[in-house]
Structure 1
Amino acid sequence: MTSPLRTVVWSTGGVGSIAIDAIRRRPDMVLVGVWVHSEEKVGKDAGELAGGDRLGIAATNDADALIALQPDCVVYAASGPERDAGAVPDYLRLLEAGINVVSTTSTSLVYPPAYYSPDWRDQMAQAAKSGDASFYASGIFPGFGSDQLALLLATQSKKIDCIKVTEVALNDHYPVADVMMNGMGFGHPLDFEPLLKTPGFIEMAWKAPIHLMAAGLGVEVSEVRGSLDRRLTDRDIEVAFGTIKAGTCGAVCTRAAGVVNGREAIVIEHIIRMARDVAPDWLASEFDATYRVDIEGDPDIHCAMNLGEAEGHGAGHAAMAATAMRVVNAIPYVVEAPAGLLSSLDMPNTLPRYAFD
């Protein structure tokens, strides 16, 4: 076997912690560093921060020190309201230093040609070329549930009228109040205008996976249409970021539709609840999360992929694990890929290695 790939994990949140545990188990990778945001985590053992045994690696917030380690790849899993504004400068530094990056942070980069900031994209492409490194963003939704799963099922199609992908999730475990309340509108009355209601926001958020599916299917999207629907809860709901009061928003559905040949042909729906009994007329799931693909055409195709245990309340672990492993399993393939900004259309099936060990 060749030398293990030297890997750094950027953050120790839910996804980052799963990545740390996955990497330490693999003989083809070695964890050499971990970045943390908060000062109180600096100097603590990376394994313990990830909820496991000590690994003998002290977490740091010194990006230069991590770059000096010359890792083969960084798993970038930082989260928060800044998202790309905070991440892109890091991507540029890493790529210019010749370090490959796999990311779950910048979901709009799952298909770089459709990225909402052409300037940032071009800077990243130049940095990747300069450093002879590659960048790949994925996850579960956006990610596998809204690109490769749908395209794989479409290999059975003779004719497609509409392809629709849907996530149905219980997100009562998500602890970031700013994102859930101000960003999505949970816990507010319906006259509150969350970030999701900003004109063009939904279209921007889901543009990339829609265009990725279109490119995979060889069609052009003329426009993306977005809409938002919210439902009230009739009781108080205790969630990770506080209490959702009765009479406030307890479920959110975003819909983005790519128009092909004058009709809405590539559709993405994202249904999030704070409790399973809110919005009972919407598509429901008894699992951690369900990802549906429905293709109207010849033949009609309907497929549901369920993550987690039935009636489980696994604090979103199944979806976070799937998100983390989409990029961890991709590391060897990204390292081997030509330099540049990659999408799943550029990658082989990123099959897991050593998953049975």
Structure 2
Amino acid sequence: MTLRVVVWATGGVGSIAIDAIRGRSDLELVGVWVHSAAKVGKDAGELAGGDPIGVAATNDAAELIALQPDCVVYAASGPDRDAGAIPHYLMLLEAGINVVSTSSTSLVYPPAYYSPAWRGQLERAAGAGDASFYASGIFPGFGSDQLALLLSTQSKTIRTVTVTEVALNDHYPVADVMMNGMGFGRPLSFEPLLQTPGFIEMAWRAPIHLIAAGLGVEIEEVRGTLDRRLTDRGIEVAFGTITAGTCGAVRTRAAGVVNGREAIVVEHIIRMARGVAPDWPSSEFDADYRVDIEGDPDIHCAMNVGAAEGHRAGHAAMTATAMRVVNAVPYVVAAPAGLLSSLDLPTTLPRNAID
């Protein structure tokens, strides 16, 4: 059976999703939503950087709902993503349309979502429309939680689980997120959104609780820390220029406390150029996703995404993010109605991926 799919937004992740779906025999792209009025009416294939495919983009949500798609791949980005996305999710779910999303990463484990009120609204909408919602990506997503749980199937005992992303983010184009949200290109005296008390704990709460749920333990609290480093040279990135003497690397750490000690840890290290913060863990690839399990046995695994020194051309982590939800579409459509996590789905194997 071919499933009818709409892609919501044509940024980096959305464009990859469009390109992937048009190459699948089990999925059919029937509509594309765009935020910009300048993109309305343009061919979705061209917006994704390819050849025309005969699907015109629209900013009319009612028009897309009327198509009665089986699923929406939601990939909108920008500040306050959840505030903008939740009304769309509710509208789609109530209409009986399944949703897979890379936008609301705090929903990778819905029971730990930071807004019980929004979670309740989503649960009611999913029930009313007999539809399902699933959020994933690469980190949060596979690299931050599911990979660790997969590796833990080899464990007799576990003392600590640490998951780490080490990546370049010079390709990310949204200046507000990178500069005001994370502090890149700002002096260390600037207080980014990341520095807001409780923000780091909130940002990484979901994957920590997902791992805990998979391992059958309770999280007592989450502790967060932030570190930033300056660049000694100017760096050209997708959202502009980072001047020397401003922030060029950011490191966050969130630790879930179990039985009074830090047992499940998420670390996130991103740079705007290699060589910034040289004393921090680094990678020659687009991104490294590392899992370190201290226990019996000790387990250490590094997953490299993208070609070495090929970061700007590959955007490999962005592709992995998109495919986590595109590959999940058939499984989410087949799942019972409700808010899902990776614990609720089988391994979302890619169909027709071998060319």
Tell me which interval the TM-score lies in, with the shorter structure as reference length: over 0.9
Question: Structure 2 stretches of 5 or more lacking a match?
Answer: none
CA–CA separation in structure 2 for the residues paired with 1:204 and 1:348: 27
Instruction: Tell me the TM-score normalized by structure 1.
Output: 0.98
CA–CA separation in structure 1 for the residues paired with 2:239 and 2:46: 24
SS in 2 for 1:196: helix
Where does residue 37 of structure 1 map in the other structure? 35
CA contact (8 A) 1:257 1:268 kept: yes
SS in 2 for 1:20: helix
Where does residue 59 of structure 2 map in the other structure? 61
CA–CA separation in structure 1 for the residues paired with 2:195 and 2:116: 23
Counterparts in 2 of 1:1-357, with a 5 A limit? 2=1, 4-315=2-313, 317-357=315-355
SS in 1 for 2:349: coil
CA contact (8 A) 2:159 2:293 kept: yes
Cα shift at 1:113: 0.2
Cα shift at 1:242: 1.6
CA–CA separation in structure 2 for the residues paired with 1:108 and 1:224: 14
- State percent identity of aligned pairs: 83
Cα shift at 1:53: 1.1
SS in 1 for 2:311: coil
CA–CA separation in structure 2 for the residues paired with 1:246 and 1:299: 45
SS in 1 for 2:218: coil
State the Cα RMSD in Å. Answer: 0.8
Q: Please tell me the residue identity of whatever aligns with 1:61.
A: N
Closer, same or farther: CA 15–243 of 1 in aligned 2, 3 Å? same
CA contact (8 A) 2:131 2:337 kept: yes
SS in 2 for 1:314: helix
Deviates more, 1:313-322 or 1:146-155: 313-322
CA contact (8 A) 2:43 2:56 kept: yes
CA–CA separation in structure 1 for the residues paired with 2:314 and 2:234: 21
Cα shift at 1:33: 0.2
CA–CA separation in structure 1 for the residues paired with 2:238 and 2:46: 22
Closer, same or farther: CA 183–316 of 1 in aligned 2, 3 Å? farther
Cα shift at 1:82: 2.2
Question: Structure 1 stretches of 5 or more lacking a match?
Answer: none
CA contact (8 A) 1:20 1:50 kept: yes
Cα shift at 1:314: 2.9
CA–CA separation in structure 2 for the residues paired with 1:304 and 1:53: 36
Q: Deviations over 1:320-351 (max 9, x none)?
A: 11000000000000000000000000000000
CA–CA separation in structure 2 for the residues paired with 1:241 and 1:94: 32
Q: Please tell me the residue identity of whatever aligns with 1:299.
A: P
Cα shift at 1:316: 5.7
Cα shift at 1:100: 0.3
Cα shift at 1:207: 0.3
Q: Please tell me the residue identity of whatever aligns with 1:300.
A: D
Q: Please tell me the residue identity of whatever aligns with 1:159.
A: T
CA–CA separation in structure 2 for the residues paired with 1:222 and 1:229: 24
Cα shift at 1:147: 1.3
Q: Deviations over 1:105-142 (max 9, x none)?
A: 00000000000000000100000000000000000000
Q: Please tell me the residue identity of whatever aligns with 2:272.
A: M
CA contact (8 A) 1:308 1:314 kept: no
SS in 1 for 2:90: helix
Q: Deviations over 1:32-65 (max 9, x none)?
A: 0000000110000001101111111110000000
CA–CA separation in structure 2 for the residues paired with 1:319 and 1:188: 25
CA–CA separation in structure 1 for the residues paired with 2:314 and 2:343: 27
Question: Deviating runs (4+, > 3 A) in structure 1?
Answer: none
CA–CA separation in structure 1 for the residues paired with 2:300 and 2:146: 15
SS in 2 for 1:147: helix
CA contact (8 A) 1:172 1:275 kept: yes
